[in-house]
Structure 1
Amino acid sequence: MSGRSGRGVFGKLFSKKQHKERDERATEIGMPTNVKQHLHVSKNSETGMLEGLPTAWLRLINTQITAAEQSENPDAAIQAVKFHMYTIKKEKAQDEPFKPFVTQEVITEEDIEIEKLLDHKKAHQSQDSDLSIGQSSEEETTHYNAPSERQTMPISPSKHSLKKKDALMDMAAVVQDLTLIGDDNDESPMLRKKELSYSKLSDEEIYEELKRICNKDDPYVRFEKIKQLGAGASGVVFIAIDSKDNSRVAIKDIDLTKQSKKELILNEINVLKGFHHKNLVNFLDAFLSYDHLWVAMELLDGGSLTDVVTEVVMKEGQIAAVCRETLQAVAFLHSKGTIHRDIKSDNVLLGMDGTVKVTDFGFCANIVGDEKRQTMVGTPYWMAPEVVTRKQYGKKVDVWSLGIMAIEMIEGEPPYMKETPLRALYLIAAVGRPKIPRWGELSPKFQDFLDKCLQVDVDMRASAEELLEHPFLECAMELRTLTPLIKAAQKILHKCYD
């Protein structure tokens, strides 16, 4: 990943106190994933229902997971509610303008925070509203009364949800590519973490570095605003005309005065400069004007794949084409040591010519669309079982999600979409591979492709690179055949990016 050379340039900016703080954290860095604690949660022998969890959590479980289900799969119920409550806590704290790249360090941090969550909650048993979740127990059980509305969950935890003394590593740490060392089955050696000096820069120093790495053009002069697409706490998203070549681009105008973690922005820009691929919504450039950072991205005028799958029936050849293009993006990200962890139709954007591009990573997050919708708590529906159950996981979570997205293209929605997020989490953990209603109508090659995507056993699941060689993709139709589907969906939904 790019940006590894920043240490020499900014090392002199660290104070002795800052060095001491980092040294005190050093013993925490590199802790193993899959951390487990011995929790005193039991199952009532008469009712089959769980006991020992915080009262509010039990009320939530008992309204959405039956006694028989709790009795049959108690671990799945516990893991589901822990992950669910962690997600709510994380969402309430998140105020960053982008989603940090998901790496093994992020997963490690998330694992430990989830395991700490229950102990922290039980320590405040008399205060059900504690933990800064921001919801009463009643709100927790009624928050998802409209599960048919498509919602989105971020792919990585916000560091604002962590206390500084509990943070295990800086989110700007540079991660070595674990794919270069052995097979998935090999024991991975612990790599030395190399932190970017950005993590300790003052705001003044951050602004100076932004000036250095951003384009010198005045964005207010270079771009002509055409249409606003959305607005949120982090800024405004709009379509603009670039006077340099008259191209249409998507721009996110970020108000830096409202960003508490400005140092992450520096790292993300440097990384994204090296993340260019034909199947990614690519970062184009960044511009700084006083306290505003303009991030220019490619604009896809066909909207999201969600619009197509919910309104139009796709042929197998068209599904194969989308899967192939998406897999090429996923394989590229994996080669960079990055896990997307949020592959789904919402995050696949289309061009009117049938171009297929993956978005929602780094600054690409929410670059086009309604930011309020994009930051709603929810959507575990595409998650691999090992994410929910907190087993050791890695890149193949994206392959599972691709398989679920393929089901979207078959059925119009993912499995369990009509269930609340908590119940969906439970079903993913307890059932594993979902049923596909139209399975019998699929070709043998498509069935085999899905079978290789949706293996609960990660070792049996194919990698993105392996799937790119699958015979199902040989039946892919030309991308231009997607254009009529896009136009039909836009007409039905009254959407247009002109």
Structure 2
Amino acid sequence: MGNKQTVEKTVVENSTSNKGKQVKFQEINNSSSFFTKSLLSLNSQRSTYSVSRPWSRVSRKRWKESTLTLPYDSSKTAWPVSQLESYFLPVFPIDSRPHEQKYKVIEEIARGAFGKVFKVLSEESGGNIYALKVLSKSKIIKENAIQQVKEEVQIQSACGHHTFIVSSPCHWQSRKKLYIVTEFISGGELHNFLEEYALPKVLIKLYIAQIALAIDFLHNAGVIYRDLKPENILLDARGDIKLVDFGLSKWLTYGGKTSTLCGTPRYMAPEIFHLQPYGHSCDWWSLGVIACRMITSKYPTSFPVKENESPGNLPEDVELTPSEKDLLLRLLDVDPSRRLHSLRTLQTIAFYKGYNFEDVKNKKLKPNDLLQEFSPQKKQIEENFETF
């Protein structure tokens, strides 16, 4: 491609004689005699790529998915895409513009294993505030996490429209970085909230229901979350929960099994520790740990090592109502086949007797309103929602 030459080729095949092919070339620019002799060689086989067609000059910005997947299109010559970029195509489209041209960085709000998260302002969308995750490709490749990152954005893009799941409007890549934009949630982590306040029972019931609705939606969509914990649950200005960070999530058909050892140990289901195949019920165990933390202000004790042992892992010296104890024992059953693992079952137990899940789904119950009636710490907690 370094030498600019234009060659016109005419091919005429003689099917009635054994003289072979007659070839006529008109050379416009004969600056390279070696190149011309190569084209005039009659002994060489005809290339499957027609030299009469000009080379496709497709910029990286206009790279199409068909070029990567269709054998015919992949044979076209294009401006080179580096190997570092091709690893993340076609999930992450290429955009070499600096992210500062799209978003104004306000402040850094978090750091992770692969990069940083910034609070940013988008002037193109009318001044909306977003969270921008900037990830290092080299670190992702080093940790063999390419597929993991791809599935993260695919799952969040597909499921982010749910009421209690953070949405992700766009994502792209430059030569060395990946960029994932999500909605910005101002209330902070549920973890920090639980460390500071003892929540009223009515708010605990609402939060468990909101988390259960999010989990049930993911499972029905063919997704296993695998890292449910208060650190991955944010609170918006109203106090409603938003599920974030799909880094360990995986596409898994309902009823399917997987065996990867992953998650946060304190919230990890026993079947994962036992290195057994596990399914979506592991997320309901994690919900049980969170529910235990909210109801008792303590975590469950270590679960039994042997499978045939009774659960018996609730905190000692804690008074529980029969309905609370029933809820926790159902969620923290070491046998995943007996464990409560569906929204439909959750709605039928005593803890949620007479409870309207449709009001929860439609956000008719506002946490701040519940705090006004039941919590003496209303003012402090509301301030936490707004400014955390």
TM-score, normalised by the number of residues in structure 1: 0.49
Does the CA-based 8 Å contact 2:238-2:366 persist in structure 1? no
Measured in 2, the distance between the counterparts of 1:409 and 1:465 equals: 19
The percent of aligned pairs where both chains have the same amino acid is: 24
Deviation at 1:320, TM superposition (A): 0.7
**Given the alignment, which residue of 392, 398, 415 partners 2:300?**
415
- Number of the residue aligned with 1:391: 276
- Could you tell me which residue of structure 2 aligns to residue 460 of structure 1? 338
Pick the aligned partner of 1:345 from 220, 230, 234.
Answer: 230
Task: Describe the shift of the 1:405–1:271 C-alpha distance in structure 2 as closer, same or farther (beyond 3 A).
Answer: closer
3-state SS of paired residue (1:286) = strand
* Residue 127 of structure 2 is aligned to residue 239 of structure 1: no
Matches within 5 A, 1:289-438: 289-362=174-247, 379-416=264-301, 424=302, 432-437=311-316
Superposed CA offset, 1:43-80 (max 9, x none): xxxxxxxxxxxxxxxxxxxxxxxxxxxxxxxxxxxxxx
Q: Give the superposition deviation at 1:383.
A: 2.2
Q: Does 1:488 align with 2:380?
A: yes
Distance, in Å, in 1 between the alignment partners of 2:239 and 2:306 is 32
CA contact (8 A) 1:382 1:400 kept: yes
Unpaired stretches in structure 2, ≥5 consecutive residues: 1-64, 75-81, 250-261
Contact 1:307 1:489 (C-alpha < 8 Å) held by counterparts: no
Residues 197-208 of structure 1 mapped to structure 2, 5 A cutoff: 202-206=83-87
8 Å contact kept, 2:304–2:311: no
1:175-254 equivalent positions in 2, closer than 5 A: 202-206=83-87, 209=90, 213=93, 219-232=99-112, 234-243=114-123, 244-254=125-135
Q: Bigger shift: 227-236 or 400-409?
A: 227-236
Mark the CA change 1:209 to 1:354 in structure 2 (over 3 Å): closer, same or farther. same
Specify the SS of the correspondent of 1:394: coil
Q: Deviations over 1:62-112 (max 9, x none)?
A: xxxxxxxxxxxxxxxxxxxxxxxxxxxxxxxxxxxxxxxxxxxxxxxxxxx
CA 11–381 in structure 1, closer or farther in 2 if over 3 Å, else same: same
Instruction: Output the amino acid matched with 2:290.
Output: M
Moved more, 456-465 or 312-321: 456-465
Map Cα deviations across residues 426-484 of structure 1 (whole Å, 9 max, x no partner): 76977744123465343x33332223212222222122323442353418864333698
Q: Structure 1 351/330 Cα, relative in aligned 2: closer, same or farther at 3 Å?
A: same
Q: Do 1:402 and 1:453's aligned partners in 2 also have CA atoms closer than 8 Å?
A: yes
Question: What is the distance in 1 between the residues matched to 2:232 and 2:383?
Answer: 21
Amino acid in the other structure paired with 2:292? I
Distance 1:427 1:344, change over 3 A: farther
Deviation at 1:305, TM superposition (A): 1.1
Task: Please state how far the C-alpha of 1:230 moved relative to its aligned partner.
Answer: 2.9
Q: Cα–Cα, structure 1 residues 294 and 482, in superposed 2: closer, same or farther, change >3 Å?
A: farther
User: 1-side partners of 2:68 and 2:175: how far apart?
Assistant: 24
Cα offset for 1:315?
1.6
Aligned partner of residue 227 in structure 2, secondary structure: coil
Compute the displacement of 1:278 (Å): 1.4
1:225 partner amino acid: V
The answer to whether the 8 A contact 1:388-1:428 is kept is no
1:433/1:454 contact within 8 Å kept: no
Relative to structure 1, the CA distance from residue 427 to residue 449 in structure 2 (aligned partners, 3 Å threshold; closer, same or farther) is same
Q: TM-score, normalised by structure 2?
A: 0.62
* Matched AA of 2:69: F
Change beyond 3 A, Cα 1:357–1:208? closer
Query: 2:169 aligns to what SS in structure 1?
Result: strand
Letter in 1 for 2:245: D
Task: For 2:304 and 2:346, locate their aligned partners in 1 and report how far apart those are by CA, in whole Å.
Answer: 31
The farther-off stretch of 478-487 and 452-461 is 478-487
Q: 2:137 aligns with which of 227, 231, 256?
A: 256
Distance across 2 between alignment mates of 1:379 and 1:390? 15
Q: Structure 2: which amino acid aligns with 1:435? A: L
**How many aligned residue pairs are there?**
285
One-letter identity of the residue aligned with 1:454: L
**Cα separation, 2, equivalents of 1:486 and 1:467:** 32
Structure 1 residues 12 and 398 mapped into 2: Cα distance closer, same or farther (>3 Å)?
Answer: same
Contact 1:285 1:297 in 2 (8 A): yes
Q: For the residues of structure 1 that align with 2:155 and 2:274, how far apart are their CA atoms?
A: 30
Which amino acid is the alignment partner of residue 270 of structure 1? Answer: Q
Contact 1:339 1:395 in 2 (8 A): yes
Residues 268, 358 of structure 1: alpha-carbon distance in 2 compared, 3 angstrom cutoff = closer
Distance 1:214 1:251 in 2: 17
| C-alpha contact (below 8 Å) 2:153/2:180 kept by paired residues | no
Assess if the C-alpha contact under 8 Å between 2:156 and 2:246 holds in 1.
no
Look up the SS of the partner of 1:466 in the other structure: helix
The whole-number CA distance in structure 2 between the counterparts of 1:496 and 1:415 is 31
Q: From the two aligned structures, give the one with the greater strand fraction.
A: 2
| Superposed displacement of residue 274, structure 1 | 1.1
Structure exhibiting the larger radius of gyration computed from Cα positions: 2
Aligned-partner Cα distance in 2 for 1:234–1:218: 19
More helix by proportion, 1 or 2? 1
Q: Classify the secondary structure of the residue corresponding to 1:301.
A: coil
Shift in alpha-carbon separation, 1:251–1:401, aligned structure 2, 3 A: same
Unaligned runs of 5+ in 1: 1-5, 16-200, 365-376, 417-423
Counterpart of 1:275 in structure 2: which amino acid? C
Which amino acid is the alignment partner of residue 287 of structure 1? W
> 1:440 corresponds to which residue?
319
Structure 1 pair 412–455 and aligned structure 2 pair: CA distance change class (3 A): same
Contact 2:96–2:175, Cα closer than 8 Å, also in 1: no
Structure 2 counterpart of 1:10, one-letter code: T
